[in-house]
């Protein structure tokens, strides 16, 4: 019996198994299982198989109490990537502009400092964390809650292929397995399991990201929560974690310190005086264009050009008519 037979059996029966079940059903399946043929088909699909018993299997993931039988792996990177120091960045799918901005910044800065950013390819925080890592040229790992051959969510198909171009997509689910709600908590244990630390950016109460946190805590991994406004339902989960004793993350340095790393030096950006004035106002609080015009005294044209300058430099973002410092 191999671990691959177990993964193939789980896919065929649509069940979650991590150890060979007793009884005839699995025994018969394993006896009939054509491992060489299955591996050849995987290979034709560009998929590798990394068994739990393989020396290359990531030790942090093997150490959790219910590691998967193995991982299906797609992407340009070596599987060694999964053994490198990694941070999970997780949070709400329908995140706010603030959550998106912080996830992107963390993805970018953590990857630039040499950490592998692990997330779940979901909309919102997950996607932004992956995108940030890609922006800094760092490989990133997407852990899927469906078969390794599926792009889920569909809207992230292009993002998934960019991730695979330098990093990896991994799944415990064999090709053909459809996404299903119950698979996502199981997937979250792999996100937490691959990572020495998990960062929650924005999360509602009782959300999937908090499941990832519970799993990380069970395995004794570090958990960071990003503070947010107490009036925002989207920050309730992260703020509640702070009350329970999670480490507040106020900059990526907090995570890097845990790994003994330092932030890659930021490129100095020269701003014009109008952009400087707008940025000073934005550093205090997000504002609409009207408020920025009022606060800075700039006319509409000068304000628009200052905002464009800040957006191009990546130090201000606009969303829903509200500008924010980056």
Decide whether 177 or 238 has the Cβ nearer to a copy of itself: 238
Angle separating helix axes 300-312 and 273-284, nearest 10 degrees: 80
Contact residues toward a copy of itself (CB under 8 A) are 94, 96-98, 101-102, 226-236, 239-240, 242-243, 247-251, 254, 283-291, 294-295, 319-322, 324-326
Give the N- to C-terminal CA distance of the chain in Å, as an integer.
Answer: 53
Decide whether 190 or 223 has the Cβ nearer to a copy of itself: 223
The distance of closest approach from Cβ of residue 284 to a copy of itself in the complex, given in angstroms and rounded to an integer, is: 5
- How far is residue 193 from each of residues 6, 72, 89, measured CA to CA in Å? 20, 16, 13
What residues are paired with 149 via a beta bridge? none
Compute how many other C-beta atoms are within 10 angstroms of the C-beta atom of residue 94: 11
- Is the CB of residue 323 less than 8 Å from the CB of residue 292? yes
Decide whether 47 or 105 has the Cβ nearer to a copy of itself: 105
| Helix, strand, coil share (%) of the chain residues, nearest 5 | 45, 15, 40
The distance of closest approach from Cβ of residue 221 to a copy of itself in the complex, given in angstroms and rounded to an integer, is: 19
Decide whether 229 or 299 has the Cβ nearer to a copy of itself: 229
Decide whether 164 or 324 has the Cβ nearer to a copy of itself: 324
The distance of closest approach from Cβ of residue 326 to a copy of itself in the complex, given in angstroms and rounded to an integer, is: 7
The distance of closest approach from Cβ of residue 275 to a copy of itself in the complex, given in angstroms and rounded to an integer, is: 17
The distance of closest approach from Cβ of residue 138 to a copy of itself in the complex, given in angstroms and rounded to an integer, is: 21
């Amino acid at each position: 019996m191999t671990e691959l037979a177990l993964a193939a059996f789980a896919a065929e029966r649509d069940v979650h198994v991590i150890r060979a079940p007793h009884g005839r059903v699995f025994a018969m399946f394993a006896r009939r299982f054509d491992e060489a043929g299955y591996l050849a088909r995987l290979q034709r699909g560009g998929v590798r198989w990394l068994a739990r018993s393989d020396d290359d299997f990531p030790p942090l993931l093997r150490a959790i109490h219910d590691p998967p039988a193995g991982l299906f792996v797609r992407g340009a990177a070596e599987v060694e990537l999964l053994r490198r120091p990694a941070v999970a960045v997780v949070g709400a799918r329908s995140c706010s502009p603030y959550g998106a901005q912080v996830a992107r910044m963390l993805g970018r800065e953590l990857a630039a400092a040499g950490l592998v950013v692990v997330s779940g390819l979901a909309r919102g925080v997950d996607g932004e964390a992956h995108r940030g890592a890609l922006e800094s040229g760092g490989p990133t790992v997407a852990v899927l809650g469906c078969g390794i051959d599926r792009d889920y969510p569909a809207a992230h198909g292009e993002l998934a292929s960019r991730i695979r171009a330098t990093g990896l997509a991994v799944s415990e689910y064999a090709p053909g397995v459809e996404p299903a709600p119950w698979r996502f908590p199981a997937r979250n244990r792999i996100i937490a399991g691959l990572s020495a630390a998990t960062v929650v950016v924005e999360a509602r109460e009782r959300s999937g990201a908090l499941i990832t946190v519970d799993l990380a805590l069970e395995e004794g991994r570090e958990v960071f929560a990003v503070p947010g406004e107490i009036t925002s339902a989207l920050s309730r989960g992260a703020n509640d974690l702070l009350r329970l004793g999670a480490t507040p993350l106020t900059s990526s340095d907090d995570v890097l310190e845990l790994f003994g790393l330092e932030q890659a030096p930021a490129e100095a950006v020269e701003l014009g005086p109008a952009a400087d004035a707008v940025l000073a106002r934005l550093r205090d609080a997000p504002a609409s264009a009207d408020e920025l015009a009022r606060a800075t005294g700039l006319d509409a044209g000068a304000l628009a050009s200052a905002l464009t300058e800040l957006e191009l430099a990546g130090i201000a973002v606009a969303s829903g008519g509200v500008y924010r410092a980056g």
